[in-house]
Copies of this chain bind each other. A is one copy, B any other.
Amino acid sequence: MASTANALSLPVTRKIAVGSSDRLAPRLPSSSSVSFRLPVELKQVRLNVTSRATRVRICASATPVMDKAASEAGPRAPTIVDVDLGDRSYPIYIGSGLLDQPELLQRHVHGKRVLIVTNETIAPLYLDKVTHALTVGNPNVSVDHVILPDGEKYKNMDVLMKVFDKAIESRLDRRCTFVALGGGVIGDMCGYAAASFLRGVNFIQIPTTVMSQVDSSVGGKTGINHRLGKNLIGAFYQPQCVLIDTDTLNTLPDRELASGLAEVIKYGLIRDADFFEWQEKNMQALMSRDPAALAYAIKRSCENKAEVVSLDEKESGLRATLNLGHTFGHAIETGFGYGVWLHGEAVAAGIVMAVDMSYRLGWIDESIVARVQNILKQAKLPTAPPETMTVEMFKSVMAVDKKVADGLLRLILLKGHLGNCVFTGDYDRKALDETLHSFCKS
């Protein structure tokens, strides 16, 4: 599948056939006997397909093989995961060295003007590289940039206005393209700015953290925080493409890496038991940044996300399951102060609380509770909220959660075997109270 030597080769969509060997699954000692059967059908759809989507059952081989020779020979064609949303479909490119393949980005730039939105941490590392990728051999394109302060606490309207100010002062027009270069905060803000500037311009996501690569850059959720709650102002707005250069993870701090793994673990818990089992066996490889393990985790996470988003773009039901642990987690982020804990850290504690509540309701057995605790500890993630959080703090933030409907708080809870969850407001309120009181001192 993968071409090897030609740095400018076009990417090819990865074909997944029943029983084919999974070249992207890493060959790791501990995983040699793991089966990668996905529990559900996964859509694999090319862009511009007008007939009904074909569906292919994914079944990777029991002995996945990573083509090490290919990765050492130079830039290779990226893996492509397609997000199937009709005329808003787009590809996710995943691979090493993708920022050295300018044609990948350039084919998705509309018009002659680009605005890169990035932050103070990422700009010194990758702004020049991305600017070069956008302009090399492409003299008609001019690139502006705006550098925002780094951190969740800056994901607000005041900072968003700086993007509009820059775009308007630069006289960008409707045919421009916004490029989000950074983590989840940058992706959310740039995406919402793109959705709103002149009532909508094109944009591209270049996520540089595990968190944004496996979750937030895919699916079109954009927005900013309000002082009373997270992500309360925003839009569903899809990018032209998502470009994941896994090399950008080389500069990611350990704590950020672990934070992203919380979302990877989430996919296993809500819908992909085999993936969870793979993670249990390969968490040390992920934590030690084994490139093959990371690439596989990113790809499989994106496949899960893309499938859910394709089935329920606007979160009428299924998509909400991606928020396992997030309702508790958002309360921690809002109550404890945006950015004090990283998003994935708050989500990890939130997952533990959701799992605790699921167990109190009698919906899962004790072994799942233990396995969740264990994998989060392996990932060096919190398994309880900060000690200063109170029951009242949780309740007041959870009351404005987007999943409240007609006054009823709906939650994502595990139910049944590993890999199964429900999104429901039909649960015993007592279990929620007990969970909150068991994790809070007051």
Give the segment of A35-43, A115-123, A193-201, A249-257 that binds chain B.
Answer: A193-201
Set of chain B residues within 8 Å of A112, measured between Cβ atoms: 406-407
Does A370 make an interface contact (CB < 8 A)?
Answer: no
Does A57 make an interface contact (CB < 8 A)?
Answer: no
A173 touches B407 (CB 8 A): yes
B233 touches A221 (CB 8 A): no
A226 touches B400 (CB 8 A): no
Neighbour of A235 across the interface among B113, B200, B399, CB < 8 A? B200
Does A281 make an interface contact (CB < 8 A)?
Answer: no
Complex CA distance for A434 and B407, rounded to whole angstroms? 61
Complex CA distance for A403 and B400, rounded to whole angstroms? 39
User: A100-120: which have CB < 8 Å to B?
Assistant: 111-113
Does A228 make an interface contact (CB < 8 A)?
Answer: yes
Interface residues of A (CB under 8 A from B): 111-113, 157, 161, 164-165, 168-169, 171, 173-175, 195-200, 221-223, 226, 228-229, 231-236, 314, 399-400, 402-407
**Sampled A-B contacts (29; CB under 8 Å):** A112-B406, A112-B407, A157-B161, A164-B232, A164-B233, A165-B226, A168-B226, A168-B228, A169-B228, A171-B399, A171-B404, A173-B406, A174-B403, A174-B405, A175-B406, A195-B235, A196-B233, A196-B235, A197-B232, A198-B232, A199-B221, A199-B222, A199-B231, A199-B234, A199-B235, A199-B402, A200-B235, A200-B236, A235-B235
16 extra interchain contacts, Cβ-Cβ under 8 A, other than A171-B400, A196-B233, A200-B314? Answer: A111-B406, A157-B161, A165-B226, A168-B232, A171-B404, A173-B404, A173-B407, A174-B404, A175-B405, A195-B235, A196-B234, A198-B232, A198-B402, A199-B223, A199-B234, A200-B236
